[in-house]
Amino acid sequence: AKLKPGDCEVCEKVVDKLKQSLSNEEKGNDETIEDKFVELCSTLKNKENRFCYYMGGTEDAATRRLRDLSKLIKYDMDSFLICERLNKLDSQICELKYPKKIDIRNVDLRKLKVKELKKVLSDWDESCDGCIEKDEFVKRIEELKPKYLKEEL
């Protein structure tokens, strides 16, 4: 299946950050691009850090794909096209997605998956002890809503 813009959101965002950190002169040098990528990776967390791991930009990375990345940046390709090429080398790259923010105020909780309901509770550092059924999670979130969603005056 052909990728659409946005299918590789984490990759695109990291590549954009890397490209912005490079001067035109630096974009012509593989080693400089790779050094800057490793430097950038040391500041990234969560999904973005996982992308760095897949590319070899972290110290614990199993593979090193830095040259693949630096060559594509040298050709001044669009971030989406770079990620499309990298995805052909490692399909995990485009499987990385940012977690979706759930707007608790305006969402019908009964339409969310249990996994999403659990995430809402964990984001609030709350739990639902003994909850098994979806309705129990919904009830717990409804109970906690006033505590976490104070209405703005």
pLDDT band at 151 (very low <50, low <70, confident <90, very high): low
pTM attached to this predicted model: 0.68
From first CA to last CA, the distance across the chain in angstroms is 49
Quick one: average pLDDT of 81-102? 89
Extents of the domains making up the chain: 9-95, 104-148
pLDDT over 80 (residue 152): no
Evaluate whether 54 touches 94 at the Cβ level (below 8 Å): no
pLDDT tier, 138 (very low <50, low <70, confident <90, very high otherwise): very high
If DSSP codes are grouped into helix, strand and coil, which group holds residue 100?
coil
Write out the two tokens for 129.
């002890």
Tell me the per-residue pLDDT of 110-125, one tens digit each, with 9 for 90 and over. 999 998 899 889 888 8
The residue type found at 122 is S
Instruction: Answer whether residue 1 shows pLDDT above 70.
Output: no
In whole angstroms, what is the distance from residue 122 CA to residue 34 CA? 37
What is 104-148's CATH number? 1.10.720
Burial of 130 (0-12, 13-18, 19+ CB in 10 A): exposed
Domain 9-95: homologous superfamily in CATH: Saposin-like (1.10.225.10)
